[in-house]
Amino acid sequence: MGKECPRCGKETMKEPIEHNAISNEDKKTYICSGCGVYENKMLWMITKNMHNKIPKFQKELQKKFREKLGID
Ligand SMILES: [Zn+2]
69 contacts 31 by C-beta, under 8 angstroms:
no
Output the pLDDT for position 24.
Answer: 96
Spacing, Cα 34 to ligand 1 middle (Å): 6
User: pLDDT tens digits, residue range 1-59?
Assistant: 689 999 999 999 999 999 999 999 999 999 999 999 999 999 999 999 999 999 999 99
Spacing, Cα 20 to ligand 1 middle (Å): 9
Q: Terminus-to-terminus CA distance in the chain, angstroms?
A: 32
Tell me how far apart the alpha carbons of residues 8 and 62 are, in angstroms, rounded to a whole number: 9
Tell me how far apart the alpha carbons of residues 17 and 14 are, in angstroms, rounded to a whole number: 6
Spacing, Cα 10 to ligand 1 middle (Å): 6
pTM: 0.91
User: Across-strand partners of 22?
Assistant: 30
